[in-house]
Chain A
Amino acid sequence: MTDEIYVFAIMLLLPLSAGMLVAQTNPYHALIIRGILGAIAALVYALFGAADVALTEALVGTMLSITLYAVAVRSSMSLRLGVLEPEAMPLSAELTQALRQALQPAHLRLELLPYGDPTALQQALGEKEIHALCLPIPVSDRTDKRNYRLQTRTPRLQQLLNTESLQAIAHLDETLQHSESQP
């Protein structure tokens, strides 16, 4: 019993790393911790003589599932923002910076999709191709220093974008509620 003390020490590492995995909030950090958990789990399985289970854990549980989940998380956790072509409306670095900052707490990426004209943008928002759109306010219509207006599809996104630094640059419009009821 005493000479197998290392078995208990290694076994304790498994719940330790599993607890670390559950405590993560950032999905990418959680993926890396999942890899650590997989490596330790393979060690524990090999320790108890289950060589086939250890090999499956390392190949499928760690390598395949992490890669698939990384691709899935990367493609789903992003905010698709519809903008006009860069020639028609150059986005200021200040705006993209403020947008990224607002999306940081939710661990979302910013993805810019250029469109030809404002009507195409509105149509894309109605057809749920994009999550939000950004349009310049013409100089004649400006009431204050804000030169952009942002429109989101859902109230939750508007809530997320409602930060001070973004409010200083862009005007947040009402969400597109009527498009939800239209077929």
Chain B
Amino acid sequence: MNGILIAMIGALLLPIYEAWQDEDIWQKMLAFASIATKTSIMILVVSVLRDDWMIGVVGVLILSVGNAALMLLAHILRRLNEG
């Protein structure tokens, strides 16, 4: 299980690097979407690893709500480009 978590952290580093080096705002949004999904799945894995279901509930809530924030931000950014 520890090895899987370490590999997940490695997979998390790739979009972080991408968000840092790419200047295009939509590429940054993509990296953000990827990170939001990955972190909530990692919270779920940690909750199973520790058998703590309070954390598990939080993971599922973040998984379903974090994407809503992304959609709101995407719509505001689209209005921005329209002028």
Contacts and interface: CB of A to CB of B under 8 A. Distances in A.
B9 interface: yes
A49 B51 CA distance: 11
Interface string A69-99: 0110010000000000000000000000000
Interface stretch (A56-64, A135-143, A172-180): A56-64
Nearest to A96: B83
Contact of A54 (B32, B62, B68): B62
Interface residues of B, number: 43
A110 interface: yes
B6 A5 contact: yes
B2 A3 contact: yes
A109 B80 CA distance: 8
B19 A39 contact: no
A67 interface: yes
Contacts, number: 113
Nearest to B80: A74
Contacts of A42: 39, 43, 62
A3 B5 CA distance: 11
A58 B25 contact: no
A106 interface: no
A70 to B, nearest CB: 5
A35 B58 contact: no
A67 B69 contact: yes
Interface size class of A (residues with CB under 8 A): 35 or more
A10 B10 CA distance: 10
Given A39-B35, A43-B39, A67 B58 contact: no
B21 to A, nearest CB: 10
Contacts of B2: 3, 5-6
B18 to A, nearest CB: 10
Given A29-B28, A31-B73, A58-B61, A17 B16 contact: yes
- Which of B52, B66, B68 neighbours the largest number of chain A CB atoms within 10 Å of its CB? B66
7 contacts: A10-B42, A13-B12, A29-B28, A32-B29, A39-B66, A46-B46, A58-B65
